[in-house]
Structure 1
Amino acid sequence: MIVALVTSFINYKISFVDLDETLHEISQSEVSFKRDYLSGYIKSSEILLSSIVKSDLTKEFVLSNEINDKINATNLFYALAFSDKDVMQLRYIDRTGKEVIRIDRNSSTDDLHVISDNNMQDKKERSYFKEAATLKENQYWYSNIDLNVEHGKIEQPLKPTFRVATPLIINDQFYGVVVVNLLFGETINFLSFSENFNIYLANGDGNIIHHPDNSQSWSQYFSNLKKLDGIFPNSASNILKSNAFYGEGVYSYSLGDLFGNKDNLKVIFTPKSGVKKTMQNKNIISALLIALTVLAVSFPLSWFASIIPSRLQSKLSEAYYKIKKNAAVIDKHVMILSTDRDGVIKQVNMCFGETTGYSTDEVIGKKQSDFRHSDTSLETYGDIRELILTGNVWEGELKEIDKEGNDLWVHKFITPDVNADGMINGFTTIVQNITDKKNIELLSITDSLTGLYNRYKLESVLLSESSRCDRYKNNFSVIIFDIDFFKKINDTYGHLVGDDVLIHLAKLLKENTSITDVVSRWGGEEFLIVACNINLHDTYIFAEKLRILIENYNFPSIGKMTISCGVAQYINNESISELVSRADFALYQAKKMGRNKVVKA
């Protein structure tokens, strides 16, 4: 009898220890999923701000301060805010701290509003402006997780928010800050969801951001609520000072490294009473049955008793499976893939398949470069591989294709996987689909009728080429031309036919210029080509070939037409307006000489 009781007691204690360790492992799995989701959320906000500060529309407005440029930049802000429902406010604040562009989302209707100039505010004393203004290009400032405050009062119902800001730097000069205010409620809901645990979120000061009882959340704003040390008096100190803490029935993890702010966000897991009680009850039953087994000295009963622990294990497996199901939330937003050291794909998640159109079987065994777009060179993937094999992380944008051959713009974050010996045995890649944002950027620099670059894009290209040539003493030239007697075509055949002529002409230009040439619709029936790394003589020959090609082409409805061209080569340190003026004067000379000619400046 004593042997049976001792055996039963030992088995129960072992099972109890195993239970606590199993719950600890389940919490680790859950926090891993939550970390991946949060990382994707933060990365998405950085990509949004990067799209703005790197956009030619933003730079053109900041440098010119012209009203038309401001309208274009505002439209970019509006489109990006529209594409992300978490954006509550998106602003450009100039170097003096004054709001210049501001898009607000109505919390009730979800509508976006462009704020008028007379409602703009001075933000030079705000911490996010001061701190973001000290950052370098491509650096980001992150706020703490706060409640939204309107006119000095906490907005009701409570609205958790999170701000991200980055400096706007052009040619090493600081021009202001771009800041986005994000709704953080859905993210808190995800971080605090669990079927097995009560989850608390706390900041580094011990204030409770989220409590399983929502009425007890946000202790920093409501003095009557308990802080972390009031809820976990024996564990609070260890939770706050440790990146990961494992106490009796308390498992905490830090996510502060993802934010780069002062919050040092903590996620604390405590098993729900029902979960632990159910598991403990089954352990008690298991222990009693084992005691009976010893008393009866019966192998059949021993076998029967073993069924109960196996059922317990089955229940734990079911619980773990439910946790894995939660990963589907992440799968909807972030593509994740794993490769071996040679770059061969070993595993992809559901989001990857849904985004690219490939099944898992079609992807396993391939390399990431197999999905490259023809615009992205193989050398680019080689450079990435060379970097990550040294143990470094690579982050950047790539143009790839999906299964149907459609353009797929992605932002990738590739990290090495290191084994216990410190050797790289593979890589994990987190992939964000940024195709929509790239399409918005493309629309902002593309002529809607012809599909060629518009004037705003060409001005940026000309500035870039002139800077490169001044530095490296290279050549580049421009060809400016327009259609002879185009007004007569519109008057005779109508504007729809005139538009069709422009579309066909654009198609001819695309097909007969090189990948290094930049072709744009300069305005009306006037076009401009930037010919990179070509001197005046060779550009003249190129322009003459285009003139002859167009002269011999049969355009729908009108048949034949001609063009007149002016060609000019960039002279070191001259302004862009001087270069274009010289090419434009050469075009004027071509028309004066009877049209259908090419004239060099």
Structure 2
Amino acid sequence: MFNLKHPYRLTLTLYFLGFGVIVALVTSFINYKISFVDLDETLHEISKSEVSFKRDYLSGYIKNSEILLSSIVKSDLTKEFVLSNDVNDKINATNLFYALALSDKDVMQLRYIDRTGKEIIRIDRNSSTDDLHFISDDNMQNKKERYYFKEAAILKENQYWYSNVDLNVEHGEIELPLKPTFRVATPLIINDQFYGVVVVNLLFSETINFLSFSENFNIYLATGDGDIIHHPDNSQSWSQYFPDLKRLDDIFPNSALNILTSNAFYGPGIYSYSLGDLFGNKDNLKVIFIPKLGVMQTMQNKNVLSALLIALTVLAVSFPLSWFASIMPSRLQSKLSEAYDKIKKNAAVIDKHVMILCTDRDGVIKKVNMCFAETTGYATDEVIGKKQRDFRHSDTSLEAYDEIHELILTGKVWEGELKETDKEGNDLWVHKFITPDINENGMIDGFTTIVQNITDKKNIELLSITDSLTGLYNRYKLESVLSSESSRCERYQSDFSVIIFDIDFFKKINDTYGHLVGDDVLIHLARLLKENTRITDVTSRWGGEEFLIVACNTNLHEAFIFAEKLRIVIENYNFPSIGKMTISCGVAQYINKETISELVSRADFALYQAKKMGKNKVVKAK
């Protein structure tokens, strides 16, 4: 009981207790209001994190489509066909189109349209079976009046045209079920001459699904004109095709104008961002985040509970401590930890599917992600401290890495392809995008590299220039090498020679032992050539049992010695099933201004002379 000698004890106690109650109520009220504001800001930050991840995904999607088209217009197979119009060259080019369409399940249609607007090559994907099929010449159409041909035809080399996102239309009718599509085109330019355009039609359904997926928000996708491409209720999507559906200004009458005219708009319970800079088209696509009711309610309930707990805590301590306290500090209750968890989850998706590595200013690797480790086979601690050049393939020079490093040290971005190796020594072709990391003082601290594995694409290209039996280059590749070497010799006044040879009595080998043994002989001979030629030499199967070697930086005398060594190696080799065999060789040095045909003819005539002189000989051309 209170001592009556101190009549103010009860009054003071009640006063302090009342003061504590006021402090508790005010603190709880302030905490609730701040948390409510914080709730909106937290959702805004989460939306920014999600749209950043979606932008990265969309940027990669568009980049992949550009790489696909670039692979076609820069391929020697495409150029050879366009310039020659040869039937076999068309088959090779069509197979390239088919292989690239097969590598990407989103490709609905891949076409080459010549400069007159006529479809020349066209690969279609069956919408029901997912199978690819070639379109015959009889079913090709002229597209010279179509907007995409006209707009792509005026582009410069390495520029791309992008369509709006729309629905696939067949025979004048919208295809059901609805199939969102996206077209990308680029001009085919050879030696500064326009030869047509290459167009790819991409199925955009999965991309829309990805852009519209969120655990926290209902997401709308709208065009710059206010048409709804995606609505959380799918039956309300594609308002530009169905006039009875609501447009953006019908759904958000108070915010539509701000959404359409701003790159980023933030209002109470609504956050919108523009994706138009990624597409480069007229759509100016907008993504709009509206918090889900359940998410808002859950976060608000937690804030209310937090406010009550704070009030009870203040009341519990206010009686003994009230004369010391003035205002208990508000405990801000935020959901930043939840936002952090979402960001980590999104980062985990990137970590799994996109190779990323970070280096310091000197190019020393500081960090790599999980996808890089899984793709290359290296553990993280095996990579840290190394440089990117440590993974180079022997075909890639150290000078190439030096040139890249010199460029990015100037603050510029480098993008290109490199041949490297994984931990097991396997070939790993990569497409790299290296950007400098700039600190607050404007200085370069290091570099971030985004890496794409393009080994499969390179393997497809390799198949077109390799002889399937021997693994040597084929005649198509050698003709390209001979052309390049002749140009180099003309420019730098250097030497190169060719060695052409065939197997003596090879027909007798086939007749006596059979063609399978004959093929085995060719395979073993190819292996001997690989083991006994230099890295700079280019060896090919010229045809049948005939082989041709391009000996770079080699004069006639040196080539003769080289050919003689090869002849002796082959003469002394014990071939399975047949034992010994010999070869006859013709050697010729390139003469300034002569054609490749003349060079090969001289070497071939020398080979004929070697045969005539009794075989198993090397003869120099006149």
Name the TM tier (shorter chain): over 0.9
Name the CA shift for 1:168/1:580 in 2 (closer, same or farther; >3 Å).
farther
Give 1:488 deviation, angstroms.
0.6
The aligned counterpart of 1:580 is 600
Change (3 A) 1:439 1:327: same
5+ residue gaps, structure 1, are none
Pairing 1:422–2:442 present:
yes
Task: Choose 317-326 or 94-103, whichever is displaced more.
Answer: 317-326
| Residues 207 and 571 of structure 1, relative CA distance in 2, 3 Å threshold | farther
Pick from 463, 474, 490 the counterpart of residue 443 of structure 1: 463
1:78 aligned onto 2:98: yes
Q: Secondary structure at the match of 2:353?
A: coil
- Distance verdict in 2 for CA 1:570–1:294, change over 3 Å: same
Q: 1:186 to 1:599 in 2, by over 3 A?
A: same
The verdict on how the C-alpha distance between 1:309 and 1:373 changes in structure 2, with shifts beyond 3 A counting, is farther
**C-alpha deviations, 1:522-577, integer Å up to 9, x for none?**
11111111222333333233222222222222222222222222223334444333
Quickly say closer, same or farther: Cα 1:300–1:218, change in 2 above 3 A: farther
Q: Which has the larger radius of gyration?
A: 2
Q: 2:52 is matched with which residue?
A: 32
Query: Alignment partner for residue 236 of structure 1, among 256, 279, 296?
Result: 256
Shift of 1:247: 2.0
Q: Which of 9, 21, 29 is 1:9 aligned to? A: 29
> Does the C-alpha gap of structure 1 residues 332 and 132 become closer, same or farther in structure 2, counting only changes over 3 Å?
farther
Q: Letter of the aligned partner of 1:504 in structure 2?
A: H
Q: Distance in 2 between matches of 1:99 and 1:78?
A: 15
Contact 2:31 2:331 in 1 (8 A): no
- Are the aligned partners of 1:56 and 1:460 in contact in 2 as well (CA < 8 Å)? no
Give CA-to-partner distance per residue, 1:293-335, whole Å, 9 cap, x none.
Answer: 4445449999xxx9x979x65x653454245324444444321
Asked whether 1:403 is paired with 2:423, we answer yes
The alpha-carbon deviation at position 192 of structure 1 amounts to: 1.1
The SS at the match of 1:20 is helix
2:503 equivalent to 1:489: no
Counterpart AA for 1:379: E
Tell me the equivalent position of 2:129.
109
1:447-526 matched pairs, under 5 angstroms: 447-526=467-546
Q: Does 1:176 align with 2:196?
A: yes
CA distance in 1, matches of 2:92, 2:451: 29
Task: Identify the residue that residue 16 of structure 2 maps to in structure 1.
Answer: none
Within-5 A mapping of 1:551-590: 551-590=571-610
| Corresponding residue SS for 2:232 | coil
| Distance change >3 Å, CA 71–CA 503, structure 1 → 2 | same
Structure 1: which amino acid aligns with 2:135? I
TM-score by length of 2: 0.90
1:44 is aligned to: 64
What is the alpha-carbon distance in structure 1 between the residues aligned to residue 426 and residue 368 of structure 2? Answer: 20
Find the aligned partners of 1:127 and 1:147 in 2 and give their Cα distance.
Answer: 16
**SS of aligned partner of 2:183:** strand
SS in 2 for 1:324: helix
1:546 alignment partner in structure 2: 566
- Per-residue displacement from partner, 1:454-510 (whole Å, max 9, x unpaired)? 111112222222333344443333222111111011111111111111111111111
Name the SS of the counterpart of 1:108 in structure 2. Answer: coil
Partners of 1:293 and 1:301 within 8 A in 2:
no
Which residue of 162, 168, 174 corresponds with 1:142? 162
Structure 2 alignment gaps of length 5 or more: 1-20, 323-327
1:229 to partner: Cα distance: 2.5
Tell me if the contact between 1:40 and 1:334 (Cα under 8 Å) persists in the aligned partners.
no
More displaced 10-residue stretch of structure 1: 361-370 or 151-160: 361-370
Instruction: Please point out which of 382, 389, 399 is paired with 2:402.
Output: 382
Match of 1:270 among 290, 297, 313: 290
Q: Residue by residue, what CA displacement relative to the aligned partner does 1:112-170 show, whole Å, maximum 9, x if unpaired?
A: 10111111111222233223333333332222222111112211111111122222233
Q: Distance in 2 between matches of 1:192 and 1:568?
A: 66
Match of 2:86 in 1: 66
Distance in 2, Cα, partners of 1:518 & 1:171:
26
Other-structure match for 1:223 = 243
Contact 2:152 2:197 in 1 (8 A): yes
Are 1:261 and 2:272 matched, yes or no?
A: no
Does structure 2 retain, via aligned residues, the 8 Å contact 1:44–1:432?
no
Per-residue CA shift, 1:224-277, capped at 9, x if unaligned? 222223222332233233332222222222222222222222222121111112
1:125 aligns with 145
- C-alpha distance in structure 2 between counterparts of 1:554 and 1:340, whole Å: 55
Structure 1 Cα separation of the partners of residues 230 and 198 of structure 2: 29
Moved more, 30-39 or 327-336: 327-336
Partner of 2:211: 191
Amino acid in the other structure paired with 2:62: I
Q: Tell me, yes or no, if the aligned pair for 2:497 and 2:555 is still in contact at 8 Å.
A: yes
Residues 151 and 466 of structure 1: CA distance in aligned 2, closer, same or farther (over 3 Å): farther
Q: CA contact under 8 A between 1:283 and 1:309: conserved in structure 2?
A: no
Q: Which of 228, 248, 261 in structure 2 is aligned with 1:208?
A: 228
Aligned-residue identity in percent: 88
Alignment of 1:79-98 (within 5 A): 79-98=99-118
SS in 2 for 1:508: helix
Q: Which moved more, 1:441-450 or 1:250-259?
A: 250-259
Structure 2 CA distance, aligned partners of 1:301 and 1:517?
A: 91
1:418-454 Cα shifts (integer Å, max 9, x gaps): 2222222222211111111111111111111100111
SS at match of 1:90: strand
Whole-Å separation in 1 of the counterparts to 2:521 and 2:191: 39
